[in-house]
Structures are given as structure tokens and as C-alpha cells.
Amino acid sequence: MSGRFITIEGGEGAGKSTAQAFIAGKLEQQGCSVVCTREPGGTPLAEAIRNTLLSLKGEAPVDMAELLLLFAARAQHLAKVIEPALARGQWVICDRFTDATFAYQGAARGLSCEAISSLESLVQGSRRPDAVVLMDLSPEIGIARARARGELDRFEQEDRAFYDRVRVGYLTRAEAQPARYSIVDASQPLDAVQRDLRHLIDQWTSHG
Ligand code: Z5A
């Protein structure tokens, strides 16, 4: 079975990292070779950009600088990690990718979708995720889950209205591209979330 590029999206504290570990474990049980990675990040340079973007210290980037830094990190991550893994036939399970840019920098910060689409084409060429898992959760619950973990980063300081726009941004994209997106109700207990994820894994592997 050749590998696929799967991305996991959603708001803060929606359970993306938990879902990523679960999906990777199930695929490995079926004999798939899996690379788990994340954005922004995934290489030393891209992780350094992540630290800059999330830090509350120093000069905060203006919105356009934030967008360009995200795509700089993505270019590095694609060239060094994602494309080589897919070329080897591995599955790549990525915690956030460009759909996050449309939701956060587009829908929530108000940067133009056309600008983001242009950067997407420039940086990614024709590369798009084969499947996007949207962990959908009300910001109220997600923020409470994330805050229970302690210190907040720069994005986690945003207000409720920002996170409402992120959620609407994701849901609007998912509704426009139903073949590529699967929406998982992330407010369910973990065993129900994992049951839904198992159905998705079955679909991906049966089209192998
Ligand atoms: N960002 C951007 O603006 N533009 C972009 O293009 C990209 C990113 C790529 C960092 O992302 C920031 O980058 C992000 C957007 C921006 N900022 N925000 N917000 P991140 O993915 O690292 O940040 P995050 O959303 O804050 O992720 P997170 O806090 O690590 O959450 P998560 O991975 O979605 O959740 P989790 O760690 O799996 O679960 C959170 C807690 O809930 C944990 O204690 C779990 O045990 C618990 N949990 C999980 N599932 C359940 C269920 N079903 N029930 C109850 N409790 C649960």
C-alpha cells in the first residue's frame, strides 16, 4: 500500500495530537510505515520559526510577516520531511497544514484568501493533503482543555471571537470540499472519537 498525506486540523485543544497518535498507531498495526510531524515545525529551522511565532517575548510579527513565516517553515518542512517520506511510500500524518493558514490567517486575521492561495501554489506546487481530518469543537471547550495545561502561547491569548472565526473558517472549507474533509465531533468522549477515526482509517486503507 502506498503512503498518503493526511492532515489533522481544528481549533485549540481540539484533540489533534491525541488523534494523530491514535491514527499512527492503528496504521502501524496494519504494517504501514508512518511519519508523524506538525506545522509550524517538523525540521530544526521550521521549529525555530514556530518558536518565534508562538513566543510572547520580543517583537510580535505583523499579520503579513506571520503568514510569510508560516509558508517559509512549510517550504522547509515539505522539502526536508514531507516530500521525501511520501516518495519513500510512507504515510505522513501532519498536525496542521495549510488549511490552518486559511482558518487562522485568512478567516480569523482577515488576510486575503487569494494571497494565501497564491502562496500555497508557489510553495506547494500541486501538493495537497489526500485527506483532512477536522476535529470540530466549540472554542469554549477547546480553550478550557488547553488552559488546563498551563502557560498560554501567543495564539492562545486571542479572544473567543477569534476562535469563533477560526471554527467558521474551517467548517466553510470542509463544506466546500466534502470529498477531502472528514469532520469528527471532537466534543465526544475519547472512545467515540476513536471509533470515528477507525472508520476513516478503514476507508483510507481499503482504497489502498
Ligand atoms: N497556526 C496558524 O496560525 N497558522 C498555520 O498555518 C498553522 C498554525 C500551521 C500552534 O498550533 C499554533 O499555530 C496554533 C495555530 C497556529 N495556535 N493555536 N491555537 P498547535 O497545533 O501546536 O496548537 P494547539 O491548537 O494549541 O494544539 P494543542 O493545544 O496541542 O491541542 P490539540 O493537539 O488539538 O489537542 P490535544 O493535545 O490532543 O488535547 C488537548 C487536551 O484535551 C489533552 O489534555 C487531551 O488529553 C484532552 N483530550 C483530547 N481528546 C479529548 C476528548 N475527546 N475528550 C476529553 N479530553 C480530550
- Nearest protein CA to atom 31 of ligand 1, as residue: 13
Q: Tens of pLDDT along 32-44? A: 999 999 999 999 9
* 97, 170 Cβ separation under 8 angstroms: no
* 2, 89 Cβ separation under 8 angstroms: yes
Match 493526511 to its residue by C-alpha cell: 6
* 189, 34 Cβ separation under 8 angstroms: no
Match 500541486 to its residue by C-alpha cell: 126
* Cα separation, 84 vs 5, whole angstroms: 12
Q: Which domain holds residue 57?
A: 5-206
Ligand 1 pocket at CB < 6 A: 10, 12-18, 39-40, 70, 95-96, 100-101, 104-105, 145-146, 155-156, 186, 189-190, 193
Q: Distance from the CA of 87 to the center of ligand 1, in angstroms?
A: 28
Cell of 87: 516518495
Least confident segment among 87-96, 151-160, 167-176: 151-160
Give yes or no for residue 136 having a pLDDT over 70.
Answer: yes
* 139, 167 Cβ separation under 8 angstroms: yes
- How many domains does one find in the chain? 1
Task: Quickly state the pLDDT bin for 152 (edges 50, 70, 90).
Answer: confident
Q: Tens of pLDDT along 86-109? A: 999 999 999 999 999 999 999 999
Q: Tens of pLDDT along 65-76? A: 999 999 999 999
Could you give the 3-state DSSP secondary structure of residue 183? strand
Q: Distance from the CA of 123 to the center of ligand 1, in angstroms?
A: 25
The CATH number of the domain holding residue 26 is 3.40.50.300
Cell of 72: 517559509
